[in-house]
């Protein structure tokens, strides 16, 4: 649902341009806003007690984010950071009740998104508890390159998204390069054959 469809009051919308790696909101901040991503890519990150950063979720063009905490009237449990230069619209709100008055249509859309994200989170927890780290790396490559094939994914980001250490990511990618699933002519992660990746992943069960 594009923000232009909603006809929200102009004084509630603030355009924001952010550069790569810029923090949009920080874990622990009070939630007052909903964000709409007009262009770019945003990652939702969480840092563990020992300082390890985990990439939890990705938001692409046309996505809303930051709204789940507004539903709970709480504080952001994670930080949102631009992975590319991005253009946002910040919808300034005091509460979810205010949103229900201003735009029931957007509220209904976000409620559906919450349910979708909850299902995805449950699926991810199941994968983490069921599959070993190498399979999680394969699944991460599948998801990341399907969603955003043009983004230059790094070994660190694949590790953060799959919940594995970078050594496992490097080892798995080295094997995929030897099979010509990834491009072995570059040190970066460059996917050559998505179908071959999916078939190889299926054989691991």
Interval 173-197 mean pLDDT: 96
Say whether 53 sits in a helix, a strand or coil: strand
What does the alpha-carbon distance between residue 204 and residue 41 come to, in Å, rounded to a whole number?
31
- Which domains are delineated in the chain? 3-116 (2.60.120.10), 130-203 (1.10.10.10)
Place 129 in a pLDDT band, splitting at 50, 70 and 90: low
Point out the least confidently predicted range of 17-21, 92-96, 137-141.
92-96
Q: What is the pLDDT of residues 66-94, one digit of tens each?
A: 988 888 778 898 999 999 999 999 998 87
Q: What is the DSSP string of 104-173?
A: HHHHHHHHHHHHHHHHHHHHHHHHHHHS-HHHHHHHHHHHHHHH-TTS---HHHHHHHHT--HHHHHHHH
Q: Is pLDDT of 48 > 90?
A: no
Average pLDDT, the chain: 89
């Amino acid at each position: 649902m594009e923000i232009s469809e909603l006809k929200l009051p102009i004084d509630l919308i603030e355009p924001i341009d952010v550069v790569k790696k810029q923090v949009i909101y920080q874990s622990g901040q009070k939630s007052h806003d909903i964000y709409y991503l007009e262009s770019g890519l945003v990652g939702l990150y969480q840092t563990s007690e020992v300082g390890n950063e985990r990439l939890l979720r990705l938001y692409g063009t046309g996505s809303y984010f930051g709204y789940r905490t507004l539903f709970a009237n709480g504080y952001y449990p994670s930080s949102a950071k631009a992975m590319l230069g991005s253009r946002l619209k910040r919808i300034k709100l005091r509460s979810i009740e205010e949103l229900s008055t201003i735009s029931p249509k957007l509220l209904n859309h976000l409620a559906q998104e919450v349910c979708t994200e909850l299902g995805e989170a449950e699926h991810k927890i199941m994968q983490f508890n069921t599959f070993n780290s190498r399979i999680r790396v394969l699944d991460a490559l599948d998801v990341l390159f399907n969603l955003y094939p043009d983004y230059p994914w790094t070994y660190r980001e694949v590790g953060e998204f799959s919940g594995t250490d970078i050594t496992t990511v490097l080892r798995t990618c080295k094997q995929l390069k030897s099979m010509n699933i990834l491009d072995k002519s570059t040190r970066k992660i460059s996917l050559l054959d998505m179908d071959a990746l999916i078939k190889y992943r299926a054989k691991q069960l």
